[in-house]
Amino acid sequence: MKIVAVTACPTGIAHTYMAAEALEKAAKQLGHNIKVETQGSIGIENKISQKEADEADLVIFAADVAVKEESRFKDKPIYKVEAQKAIKNAKAVVEEAIKLAEQK
Amino acid sequence: MIINENMIILDLEAKDKESAILELAKQALKEDKITSVDDFAKSVFEREKTYTTGVGNGIAIPHGKSDAVKEAMIVFGKSSHGIEWESLDGKPVNIIFLLGVPDKNVSDIHLKILSQLSRKLMNDEFVERLKMADAKDDVLEALSDINIE
């Protein structure tokens, strides 16, 4: 599956990046293609383009604050969790998100 | 320098979360990275209230953004007895990275170092290296792997 994800946290110093790393690892382990955009203190990095958003099968938000430019993902299945859930068990987050996408 | 050998405490005396943060912050004050332990610690405690920075695997990354911070910094601490941190996996913490960032005018390079460190903490091999480290040089060497793209 083609997954795109956005991570964000209140201070944007640590959890944003830990969640991104965890999701990238988990998705790859499970054999999926993933691109993770971080919205942290540095600003938006590894930005997901509208084209990439359109081509994605599934969107994951691992964020504790509002995701910027959420309109890119309208009409897509979005699985939303707290950033710390992705840090704790990214594999479960990816698996749950895939279930959501398959239902739609 | 965002970290130096004086900003590494290999055997923290603190027995709880609050005193561990204070012990590390005092070290930052000694190294002239912050202007006030109390003001900086306040921002860290506020952050902790949102949700824990005990990310599991024996690691905690308390952090604060405050105008008491002069320049972005990392203080590293190890605890042999383990400190209760309400971690995501419920386990006590042995490795603590206290991160401080100024309120304004933070350089992107520093923020990138902190983001790289955060990412590295998801890497079991890196964490093992830190857990095995029994000299300041071991810690610095492990951290020297962090590359700024």
Q: Is the pLDDT of residue A28 over 70?
A: yes
Confirm or reject contact between B50 and chain A (CB < 8 A): yes
Give the tens place of pLDDT for each residue, B15-41.
999 999 999 999 999 999 999 999 999
Q: Give the span between the Cα atoms of B100 and B105, in whole angstroms.
A: 13
Which site among B55, B61, B63 would you substitute to test the A interface, given the most A Cβ atoms closer than 10 Å to its Cβ? B55
Q: Give the span between the Cα atoms of B33 and B10, in whole angstroms.
A: 19
Cα-based distances in Å from A44 to A53, A82, A90, B109: 15, 18, 21, 15
A20–B106: do the CB atoms touch at under 8 Å? no
Identify which of B116, B143, B144, B134 has the alpha carbon closest to the alpha carbon of residue B9. B134
Give the tens place of pLDDT for each residue, B102-116.
998 788 888 998 999
Which site among A16, A41, A88 would you substitute to test the B interface, given the most B Cβ atoms closer than 10 Å to its Cβ? A41
pLDDT band at B148, cuts 50/70/90? Answer: low
A21 lies in which domain range? 2-103
pLDDT of residue B146: 81
Q: Which residues pair with A60 in a beta bridge?
A: A5, A79
Tally of domains in chain A: 1
CATH 3.40.930.10 fits B5-143, yes or no: yes
Q: Is the pLDDT of residue A62 over 80?
A: yes
Q: Is the pLDDT of residue B145 over 50?
A: yes
Q: Is the pLDDT of residue A64 over 70?
A: yes
B106–A41: do the CB atoms touch at under 8 Å? yes
Residue pair A38/A16 in contact (Cβ under 8 Å)? The answer is: yes
The enclosing domain of A91 has a CATH number of 3.40.50.2300
Give B81 to chain A, closest Cα distance, Å. Answer: 23
Lowest mean pLDDT among A13-17, A61-65, B103-107: B103-107
pLDDT band at B51, cuts 50/70/90? Answer: confident
pLDDT of residue B107: 83
pLDDT of residue B110: 87
Confirm or reject contact between B115 and chain A (CB < 8 A): yes
B118–A21: do the CB atoms touch at under 8 Å? yes
Q: Is the pLDDT of residue B143 over 60?
A: yes
Residue pair A21/A86 in contact (Cβ under 8 Å)? The answer is: no
